[in-house]
Structure 1
Amino acid sequence: MILVTGATGLVGSHLLISLLQENNDVKALYRNSKHIEKVKNVFTYKKQLDLFDKINWVEGDITDIPSLNVAFEKVTIVYHCAALISFDPKDEDKLRKVNIEGTANVVNCCIDFGVKKLCHVSSIAALGDTKEGEVLITEETDWNPEKLHGDYAISKYGAEMEVWRGFQEGLEVVIVNPGVIFGYGFPEQGSSVIFKSVKKGFPFYTKGKTGIIAVEDVVNCMIQLMKSNINRQQYTLVAENPTLETVLFTIADGLEVRKPSIYANKTLTRIAWRLDWFLSKIIGRKRSFTRATSKSSHSLDIYDNSKIKKELNYTFLDMKNYLISLSEEYK
């Protein structure tokens, strides 16, 4: 029996389809039943609605141990996709609670219930920091606690420490560190917000680089890694490292709308994150642009995917064509 946490999210929903296509028995952890309908929409889009009724839904929360005890019964394989994504400093405690403590609970249940193997979905935000003069980030790049990191990145790094603890206690583990994940479904959250912003005429762009990947590639790599004998390894899952300018312009072309036209240099983004902070104090809205995100929007770091490509002999989807296709679906 396979358990998927975070089953009502982008990665989780697409993962369910792939696992069920292989005739696996799957448990799917959910917190709110209204989110299940979003998963059903993905199954419908993928023309796999006949598989939807085969999901064994289990209500629970990774921060609630009693509910996890029910979910883990007869489970031998776990895909841990559940996480909180927020860049608002006010959510620091929630991020630590869900991402670190929640992962610790999942790891402990894996050990207690004799789970054979765990796949943990982390993030490129949890990878290391380049030294002066360097731009390439690999799985071996050291994390520098003296450098500026957002609360989300810190929480995902802390979650990885819990997974490595699980390995030390006898659990087989693999960690994947995806970049920005694009995929069909969930138009009001995650990377889909980028499409919404561009469609509304978002005017700004920067020339910093970021790692991006299609959700189908994330899911395929996870499943292949879990089927293999690979243990105690982590892999950067990035198809390409385009500039943010390229991503926004490609999406604009796909949506057939005006491209962002104002280059936001470092001075402008410094002003922007301070203004965002000010408005959050005045009107109480959640932060969407912080000092850490301002810095990352100009980063020229490149995430190296050579390890996963070599390990699985894997070829990633072409992201330009993929983003254009997604844009057409978004329209």
Structure 2
Amino acid sequence: MRKKIVVTGGTGFIGSRLVHRLAAQGEDVHALVRASSDLASLAECRDKITLAYGDVTDPSSLFSAIEGADEVYHCAGITYMGDRKNPLLQRINVDGTQNVLDACRRAKVRRVVHVSSITAVGISGPNRKFDEESRWNFDMIDLEYARTKHAAEKIVAAEVKKGLDVVIVVPAFVFGAGDINFNAGRIIKDVYKRKMPFYPTGGICVVDVEIVVDCLIAAMKKGRTGERYIVGGDNVSFKELAQTIMRVTGVHQRSFPLPIWGAHVISFVLGFSRFSKERHKISKLFNMTMFTVASKFLYFDSSKAQRELGMRYEPFEKSIRRTFEWYRERRMLN
């Protein structure tokens, strides 16, 4: 008899790629979705999976979806860089994690893999790489998303102490085929459409979604209970990232470094109505919260995942190229 596997956040970027992989392997996959969920990301494997209707913010809906499961991947979450959705971030990322783990304990699930975020690890600075033991310092920036992902990891730690078997996987900045909502892929689209006349002065750790999926499955099989594993790849400046995307796409635009004080000036100017027409010429990624984060360095060491999960490495340009070609084949860059 096949084991039952539940994936929360099954329509999201990482969750949907995980569902595809597990379905291709012949597993009994149950994707947790809401009645209002857009199922486009699951279209190619819809006939191989079971849809489990529920909502991580509604505890009463979770037990029936999780009951009988051997393994649960908790991928559900909301990523939002701003302060207009603070209550929703709390309900989904924090309360939702508690609700899922409560249901897993009640259902006697054998093991859970929790998907976290590098914002729950911290800000490294330009000349060092953070690892799983680094002290969290993201509270130097007023970013509710980071706070909620950090709080969710604390909930996991508390549940592990109570006896629940949970492993934490911490993906870096994730590119890849299947990013239909343009998460990291927004940068590719905006460079391609020449909407990146400047770039932030920080840097980021990048990884392909298929490597993340590899590590999620490996964490379920052999990750150590209560441990966290950073899954990243190359640590690159945003200048290097933008230049690589230009090289891959063949589209070039003069682009300049923009320090945080300059970003404040531009944000102020764009706030005037007579400059409103200029907004469409600049990436939607340009908001002060996101730019503040991107002006920092989020560089990470993934050697623990390499040692214990067998994480593979590939140059980040391969992921950029794969993502771009996936978008172009589907005419999603117009």
- TM bucket (normalised to shorter chain) is 0.7 to 0.9
State the shift of 1:247 in Å. 1.6
Out of 286, 291, 298, the position equivalent to 1:294 is 291
Instruction: Please point out which of 93, 98, 105 is paired with 1:111.
Output: 105
Task: Report the 3-state secondary structure (helix = DSSP H, G, I; strand = E; otherwise coil) of the residue aligned with 2:190.
Answer: helix
Q: Distance in 2 between the 1:130 and 1:195 partners?
A: 25
Residue-by-residue CA offset, 1:232-274 (whole Å, 9 max, x unaligned): 1001111111111122222222222123522212321233455
Counterpart position of 2:152: 159
Q: 2:77 aligns to what SS in structure 1?
A: coil
Tell me the distance in 2 between the aligned counterparts of 1:236 and 1:278.
42
Q: Which residue of 1 aligns with 2:95?
A: 101
For residues 122 and 260 of structure 1, what CA distance do their matches in structure 2 show?
Answer: 35
1:122 — aligned with what?
Answer: 116
One-letter identity of the residue aligned with 1:310? R
Structure 2 contact 32–65 (Cα < 8 Å) conserved? yes
Aligned to 1:268: 262
Separation in 2, partners of 1:253, 1:178 = 25
**Residues 52-67 of structure 1 aligned to structure 2 (within 5 Å):** 52-67=46-61
Give the stretch that moved more between structures: 268-277 or 13-22. 268-277
Q: For the residues of structure 2 that align with 1:277 and 1:307, how far apart are their CA atoms? A: 45
Are 1:220 and 2:217 an aligned pair? no
Q: Distance in 2 between matches of 1:130 and 1:247?
A: 18
2:108 counterpart SS class: coil
In terms of mean alpha carbon deviation, does 266-275 or 310-319 score higher?
266-275
Q: Secondary structure at the match of 1:175?
A: strand
**C-alpha distance in 2, partners of 1:220/1:295?**
31
Separation in 2, partners of 1:323, 1:229: 28
Asked if the contact 1:211/1:239 (under 8 Å) is kept, the reply is yes
2:135 to 136, 139, 142: 142
Paired-residue identity, %: 31
Q: Which runs of 5 or more structure 1 residues have no equivalent in the other structure?
A: 44-48
Question: Following TM superposition, by how much is the alpha carbon of 1:196 offset from its aligned partner in structure 2, in angstroms?
Answer: 2.0
| Equivalent residue for 1:254, pick from 243, 248, 256 | 248
How far, CA to CA, are the matches of 2:128 and 2:35 in structure 1?
Answer: 41
- Asked if 2 retains the 8 angstrom alpha-carbon contact of 1:128 and 1:140, the reply is no
With normalisation by structure 2, the TM-score equals 0.87
Preserved CA contact (<8 Å) 1:4 1:28:
yes
Return the match for 1:11 from 10, 14, 18.
Answer: 14
1:197 to 173, 185, 190: 190
The AA in structure 2 aligned to 1:304 is D
What residue in structure 1 maps to residue 332 of structure 2? Answer: none
Choose from 314, 318, 325 the match for 1:328.
325
Q: Which residue of 1 aligns with 2:312?
A: 315
SS class of match (2:31) = strand
Change (3 A) 1:181 1:301: closer
Q: Where in structure 2 are there 5+ consecutive unaligned residues?
A: 277-283, 329-334
Kept after mapping to 2: 8 A contact 1:249/1:259: no
SS at match of 1:29: strand
3-state secondary structure, aligned to 1:303: coil
Letter of the 1:10 counterpart: F
* Gap change, CA 1:231 and 1:196, over 3 Å in 2: same
Aligned partner of 2:203 in structure 1 is: 209
Is residue 176–residue 323 contact of structure 2 (8 Å, CA) maintained in 1? yes
- Residue of structure 2 in register with 1:31 after alignment: 34
2:68 aligns with one of 63, 71, 74: 74
Change (3 A) 1:277 1:109: farther
